[in-house]
Structure 1
Amino acid sequence: MGDGVIWPKPPVEGQAWRKDSKKKCEFHRDIGHNTEDCYTLRREIKHLYEQGELSQLLPRGGKQLDKVGSAKPANPPTYTKIINVITGGSDLSELTYSVAKRHATETKGDRPTNSCRISHSDLPVVTFDEGDTYDEREHHHALIITLSMANRIVRKVLVDTGSSVNLIMLKTIENMGFSEKDLQKKTIPLVGFSGETSNSLGEIVIPTYVGGVNKQVIYLVIDGPSTYNVILGRSCLHQMKAVPSTYH
C-alpha cells in the first residue's frame, strides 16, 4: 500500500480481554474484528485510490470502488400504477372543487393514466433551494409529496413530523392491489389530536423508495375517510434519513 498510508496506533495493553480473540485485523495489528470488515482500512484504501496510488489495482471508472467506498444508491423501481385521491378543496388552500375540475379538464391530454408505465425521471425531485421558497403568507400549506411504494406512484402523501407512526388507508392498499389478507393482524390504538381513539386494522410492510434509498417500511392500516393516501411519520423519516422542509 506504499508509504502514504496512515497506520493506526498500536493497541493499548490491557484491553485485549474486551475483544473477540477469534477475529484479527492485519491493518490494526490487533484482535477484535476481521481485516475485511475494517472500516478504517476501507477509508484508507478509498483515500489512496482518490490520490491515484492504487490505479493499477482499481481502474478509475470501474465498479471495484463501490465495494471499497460508499454503497451505491438503489436503482429506482419500474412503476406500474398511479394511486390518486380526489377531494374537495378548501378556502385555506385557495382551491375549490370547480377550479380543480376545470384545471383537470384543461390538462387532460398531458396527464399520465393508471395504465401507463412511468419512469423515475417523471417523478419530481424532492430537493430544495432558495428558488423554491414561498411567500411568507403561504407557509400554512402542508407538506404533501408523491411517493414510490411497491412499484406504484402514490400521490397525496402527507409528511407529518408530529406522527409517531406511518399510516396508510385501507382503500389505498386496495387500489395498490393488496387486500386485508396481506395484513398482519395487529390492533394498535391510535390517539388523534383531540384525544379520540381509533384502532388500526393491522400493519403491512411495503417497500418504499426515496431518492436512492429503498427501505421496507411498516405502515399501520386504518379504515376511514381521509384527505390523504398515506401519512409519513417520524419513524419513516428517520429510517430514510430524510429532512423535510415546510419552509421550502
Structure 2
Amino acid sequence: MGDGVRWPTPPVEGQSWRKESKKKCEFHRDIGHSTKDCYTLRREIRCMYEQGELSHLLPRGGKQQDKASSKKPMTPATCTKIINVITGGSDLNGLTYSAAKRCATETKGDRADTSCRVSHSDLPTVAFDEEDIHDSQEHHDALIITLSMVNCTVRKVLIDTGSSVNLIMLKTIENMGFSEKDLQKKTIPLVGFSGETANSLGEIVIPTYAGGINKQVRYLVIDRPSTYNVILGRPWLHLMKAVPSTYHQCVKFPEPWEVEKVRGDQEEARGCYKKALKCTASPPP
C-alpha cells in the first residue's frame, strides 16, 4: 500500500492485556483484533480506491472501467420489416439519383482502392466537452450563428444538417447590395420534409468567412417569407469540414493551426422560434 495510506502509530510495548489476545492485525502490527475485522484498514482501502491509487490492482484498469463493465447494452428489438425510402437529390451538390447510383457502384467495386482518398492527418481532432456548453440549462434550441459575408455581418444563419443545399433569402442579398441581375438563372425545385415544393430564383456565389477561412460558397436564392436570412446545409458543412453540435450550441472547424469555433446565439434562436409561431398562427375568428 506504500505511502498512500495513513499507517497507525506503532504499539507500545509492555502492556499486559495485549499478551492475552490471540488475534493479530497486520495493519496495526498489534494484537487485539484480526486483520479482516480491522475497520480502520477498510476505511483506508476505500479512500485509496476512490482516489484511484489502487487502479493497478483492479480488473480492466480501474474504478471507471470496472463500473462501466457492470452495465450492458440493451438488446435491440427483433426486426420484423425493413422500410426503404427512395429520394432524389439536387444538381447543386451532385446528388442526383443517377450520380448516387453510379457512386454506389464505384464504391462497391473499389473498396480496396484507397489511393484517391484525401488524407486529413494534418488536421486536429474535433471534440466537444463540457467546457463548450455556454448554458447548462436543458434546451432544444436550433443552432443559429452570425457570419461575415462579403463586407456584411449576417445574423440569423441557421445550421441545418438536414438540408442538401445552401439557401439565402432574396431580401438578404438585396440588403447586401445584390439584385436579381447578379443571379445565375437556374430554377431548381426545392422539396420540404412534408412534400411542399418551392422553386429557386437562381444561384449566387458569395464569399463567406468563418473559422478563420474565407470560402466561395454557392447559394440557391429563394423568395419566401422566412425567419432566417441564410440556411447553411451539408454542402457548406462538408466544404468547411465543420462539425456542428446543437447541444453544445457551437460549430467547430478543424484547421492546420487549431480547431476554430463559432458559438451559437440561443437568444436569437428563441426569437426566430417565436417569430415562426406568430407567422404560422391562424387569425382569430
What's the TM-score once normalised by structure 2's chain length? 0.41
Higher relative contact order (CA 8 A, sep 6+): 1
Larger radius of gyration: 2
What's the TM-score once normalised by structure 1's chain length? 0.47
